[in-house]
């Protein structure tokens, strides 16, 4: 309630609903609401798999009920506020599953609820960021529950696989976490439960594929090929790596105007004429050829993107400094968790290593990394708690003095 009320209050205080963002996702949701199916991500460009389907589908229900004007925008942002609030509300439960002190989970959740540092990403609702953050928390909660209980039964594997598949249908970017956590689990339990965990992993992967299959089949029959999550990576790779490319999305207008169908009429005509998947294959070849022929420029762009993933430049310097503090302050807690060989430490390390990988090679934006920012709050809270305990234990007059 605290997180939700604060965000709703800011919604009406800032009148953010007056600025309607017609993103590709909003275009697809609008097409769904109008009964034209998953289509027209860039305009009137036909069937698409440009977006993972679950959030556009949910948003289309909002548009059917409230329309696509100001009322619909308020409903959209209210939905996003609710998803973000639910994410923070689940952090104490995750902390409890991972056997943290209760103060750690409550502290992380309270900070996330009150400090709306990346507010636009989690409350605007024109992207799937808030829902992806919620899916990420649920995914980690599921794995931690089974890791700590050493429960690698078939039932646990099926539930993990279904949840993982649904997470991928929310955001394809969570795929690196899904794969990374499954592999990390085998590394952790290979000495004590290798056969059980291997069966767990195989059943989970099968459940993931079954969950994704209806969407993949839709894409096969409508677009001509199996697309299991979304089709847009080649396009993003091309827009992010060319002669005009910049590391941050907000600085990359020139490349967008030349190469992105959302901004370029010429590229929209190409998508309409060739079909989306043929177009994606074409731009994939262009991107890979540019990268191969410009290794030093690609390396420099990559280094910049790595920096902006971990230290994003926000609208206000105070926001930028706060996110930088969260990233750095969480490192001591992560080191301690890894030294103690606690499962959550390996899980969070996997997220930090795996999730940003795709954003090292494509343009970055603060909303892209929002789904993993809850991990920084949790680790920062643990760092504060560890520092407090160390101070108390060393204070004169304590039992350990």
Give the tens place of pLDDT for each residue, 329-353.
Answer: 999 999 999 999 999 999 999 999 9
> What was the pLDDT predicted at 220?
96
Angle at 282 between CA 214 and CA 132, to 5 degrees: 45
Over residues 195-254, the pLDDT tens digits come to 999 999 999 999 999 999 999 999 999 999 999 999 999 999 999 999 999 999 999 999
Over residues 70-126, the pLDDT tens digits come to 999 999 999 999 999 999 999 999 999 999 999 999 999 999 999 999 999 999 999
Give percent of the chain with pLDDT exceeding 70.
Answer: 98
Mean pLDDT, rounded, for 33-42: 95
Q: Please determine, for residue 400, whether its predicted confidence score (pLDDT) is greater than 60.
A: no
Q: Please determine, for residue 267, whether its predicted confidence score (pLDDT) is greater than 90.
A: yes
User: What are the boundaries of each domain within the chain?
Assistant: 134-228, 232-387
CB-CB neighbours of 187 under 10 Å:
11
Mean pLDDT, rounded, for 4-20: 94
Mean pLDDT, rounded, for 381-387: 94
* Listed residue (107, 79, 102) closest to 4, CA to CA: 79
Q: What is the dihedral of CA 357, 363, 367, 372, to 10 degrees?
A: 10
Give percent of the chain with pLDDT exceeding 90.
Answer: 92
For the record, the structure tokens of 39 come out as 């289509």
Q: How many Å apart are CA 88 and CA 105, to the nearest integer?
A: 10
* Listed residue (139, 13, 23, 27) closest to 81, CA to CA: 13
Residues 247-256: contacts with CB within 8 Å, 24+ apart? 247/301, 247/304, 247/305, 247/308, 247/363, 247/364, 248/304, 248/308, 248/313, 248/363, 248/364, 248/365, 249/363, 249/364, 249/365, 250/365, 252/363
For the record, the structure tokens of 13 come out as 């205080």
Contact 17, 70 (CB under 8 A): yes
Rg (CA), the chain: 22
> What was the pLDDT predicted at 397?
59
Q: How many Å apart are CA 382 and CA 371, to the nearest integer?
A: 19
**Per-residue confidence at 401, pLDDT binned at 50, 70, 90?**
very low
> What was the pLDDT predicted at 391?
84
> What was the pLDDT predicted at 315?
85
Q: Is 386 exposed, middle or buried (0-12, 13-18, 19+ CB in 10 A)?
A: middle
Q: Is 389 helix (H, G, I), strand (E, B) or coil?
A: helix
Q: How many Å apart are CA 363 and CA 65, to the nearest integer?
A: 34
> What was the pLDDT predicted at 398?
52
For the record, the structure tokens of 151 come out as 């429960």
Q: How many Å apart are CA 273 and CA 261, to the nearest integer?
A: 12
Q: How many Å apart are CA 157 and CA 382, to the nearest integer?
A: 29
Q: Phi-psi bin for 35: left (phi > 0), alpha (psi -120 to 50), beta? A: left
Enter the DSSP assignment of 10. H
> What was the pLDDT predicted at 396?
65
The model's pTM: 0.94
Q: How far is CA 197 from CA 150, 152, 184, 336, 382, in A?
A: 9, 6, 11, 26, 29
């Amino acid at each position: 309630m605290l997180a939700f009320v604060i965000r709703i209050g800011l919604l009406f205080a800032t009148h953010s609903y007056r600025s309607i963002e017609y993103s590709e996702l909003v275009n697809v949701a609008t097409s769904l609401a109008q009964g034209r199916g998953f289509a027209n991500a860039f305009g009137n460009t036909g069937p698409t798999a440009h977006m993972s389907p679950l959030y556009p589908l949910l948003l289309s229900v909002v548009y059917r009920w409230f329309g696509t004007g100001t009322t619909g925008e308020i409903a959209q942002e209210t939905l996003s506020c609710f998803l973000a609030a639910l994410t923070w509300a689940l952090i104490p439960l995750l902390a409890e599953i991972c056997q943290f002190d209760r103060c750690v989970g409550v502290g992380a959740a309270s900070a996330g609820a009150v400090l709306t540092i990346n507010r636009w990403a989690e409350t605007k609702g024109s992207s799937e960021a808030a829902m992806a953050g919620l899916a990420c928390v649920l995914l980690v909660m599921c794995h931690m529950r089974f890791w700590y209980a050493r429960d690698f039964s078939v039932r646990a594997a099926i539930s993990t696989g279904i949840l993982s598949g649904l997470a991928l249908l929310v955001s394809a970017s969570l795929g690196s976490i899904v794969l990374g956590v499954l592999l990390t689990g085998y590394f952790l339990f290979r000495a004590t439960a290798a056969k059980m965990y291997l069966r767990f992993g195989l059943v989970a992967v099968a459940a993931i594929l079954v969950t994704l299959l209806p969407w993949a089949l839709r894409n096969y029959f409508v677009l001509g090929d199996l697309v299991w999550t979304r089709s847009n990576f080649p396009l993003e790779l091309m827009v992010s790596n060319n002669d005009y490319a910049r590391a941050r999305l907000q600085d990359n207008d020139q490349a967008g105007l030349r190469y992105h169908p959302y901004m370029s009429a010429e590229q929209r005509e190409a998508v309409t004429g060739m079909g989306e998947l043929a177009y994606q294959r074409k731009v994939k070849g262009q991107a890979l050829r540019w990268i191969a022929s410009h290794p030093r420029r690609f390396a420099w762009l990559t280094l910049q993107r790595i920096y902006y993933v971990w230290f994003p430049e926000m609208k206000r310097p105070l926001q930028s400094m706060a996110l930088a503090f969260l990233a750095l302050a969480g490192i001591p807690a992560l080191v301690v968790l890894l030294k103690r060989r606690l499962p959550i430490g390996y899980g969070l390390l996997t997220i930090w290593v795996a999730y940003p990988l795709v954003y090292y090679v494509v343009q970055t934006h603060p909303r892209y990394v929002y789904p993993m920012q809850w991990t920084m709050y949790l680790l920062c809270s643990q760092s504060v708690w560890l520092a407090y305990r160390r101070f108390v234990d060393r204070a004169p007059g304590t039992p350990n003095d």
